[in-house]
Amino acid sequence: MERRDFGEEFRWGVAVSAYQIEGAHDADGKGHSIWDIFTNKKGNVLNEHTGNTACDFYNRYNQDISLLKELNIPNFRFSLSWPRIFPSGHFYVNRKGIDFYDRLIDCCLSQGIEPWVTLYHWDLPHELELMGGWTNRDILYWFGDYAELCAKHFGDRVKKWMVLNEPMVFTGAGYFLGIHAPGKRGMKNFIPAMHHATLAMGEGGRRLREFVKDAEIGTTFSCSHIEPVSQKDKDIRAAIRVDALLNRLYIEPILGLGYPQELRKPLLNVEKYIKPNDESNMPFDFDFIGIQNYTREIVKYSWWTPYLQASIVGAKERKVPHTLMKWEVYPEAIYQMLKKFQAYTNIKKLMVTENGAAFNDVVFDGKVQDSQRLLFIQDNIRQVLRAKKEGVNVQGYFIWTLTDNFEWAEGFHPRFGIVHVDFHSQKRTIKESGLWYKDFLSYM
């Protein structure tokens, strides 16, 4: 397996997000995000960690962009912090926030690195959450105006855009389970948040299309290959319902297919949030779809589980290899998901916009031998190549992530980076996986 096997046009890169790396949580006029509030409340995050400083990327971006150059990484996916640009979510624009992203984008371009910008990677302005956040339909206007400002200001230099990052995760974990910001629970919060996030993908896409000449616009979805624990009918049906929730709930409406019929019972109340023209406004003709896969899930029937009557059989319970996140190591999952999304006839092309693994990393004698991560990345890239050779129109692969970072409710414990970060000294050390990626990208 060599880089040239994928063709000259295939895009290679790494992905990061603003809250997980930037730090500078209250610097230069930035407003609070829901994650600023959530992480600073005791008990929400492992070891009471916060992203207040994180990787200090806000002050060290030059160093990290130089690392990208050193590692021969030609594409850098990062997100914009909505409250850094609009401290209260709308109306007032923070000029210093705009200036930071101007410097970052210009720094990337000066090093020959293409910026791929995500509009929303979970850091909703807290002031908007006080008005209901994603449960408030007005978020379509707030988000639309934010997208338009970003398009107008950065669109002369940024041509690769993603609208939302993993809507299933930020609505499910943040508005149903309450384990992510803003910590809300229940279907009464999830259903309106889900519907408004679905509409926001199209709204953001239309604003970008209108104001960015020659834009290539996508949006990204978390996905997991789903299999039933047995061939019993009840387990198979449970797996179908979980697949509909985790893999189909958001992609099908934007393709004009509506919400999955398998979820009509748990989503019964969505009708009261659907307004005239919503069904015509949900679809958007994206240039690419970003898939973000890390594992597969094995599902069994569970009468006690509300709404879905299904539950996950964990990797530890099945005694199979797993990462620090307790996710099964199963590289074929990414192949299966590429094939699944390729089956939708109206997707133009696919990009793997996140893929990676967290393991225990130790610096020894100035080096980090992360052989498990290296093998994970290599095996997953092989599966991407397998899909590509079978005719799947996949045109890019981005590793999650460049540097170890703040991993949401898990704090700094799981390390996903191909570059190690000492969070006390902020020293960067390229791991074995990063050195391999450098060599892999060196030859065509």
- Residues marked active site are found at 166, 354
Helix, strand, coil percent content, the chain, rounded in steps of 5: 45, 20, 40
- Is-contact 167 221, C-beta < 8 A? yes
- CA-wise closest residue to 147 among 96, 80, 97, 100: 80
User: 45: which strand partners?
Assistant: none
Q: Cα(272)–Cα(294) distance, rounded to whole angstroms?
A: 34
- Is-contact 358 407, C-beta < 8 A? yes
∠ Cα 303 179 125 (to 5°): 135
What lies within 8 Å, CB to CB, of 202 at 6+ separation is 254, 281, 282, 283, 284
Q: Cα(45)–Cα(49) distance, rounded to whole angstroms?
A: 6
- Is-contact 301 232, C-beta < 8 A? yes
CA 338 vs CA 122, 144, 216, 342, 390: distances in Å: 24, 30, 20, 6, 11
Q: Cα(439)–Cα(268) distance, rounded to whole angstroms?
A: 52
Q: Where are the alpha helices (DSSP H) in 288-396?
A: 315-318, 332-342, 371-389
With tokens 């020959």, the residue in question is: 112
- What is the distance in angstroms between the CA of the first residue and the CA of the last residue of the chain? 11
What lies within 8 Å, CB to CB, of 277 at 6+ separation is none
The region, left, alpha or beta by phi > 0 then psi within -120 to 50, assigned to residue 166 is left
Kind and range of the H or E element at 397?
strand 394-400
The region, left, alpha or beta by phi > 0 then psi within -120 to 50, assigned to residue 26 is alpha
- Written in H, E and C, the secondary structure of 74-94 is CEEEEECCHHHHCCCCCCCCC
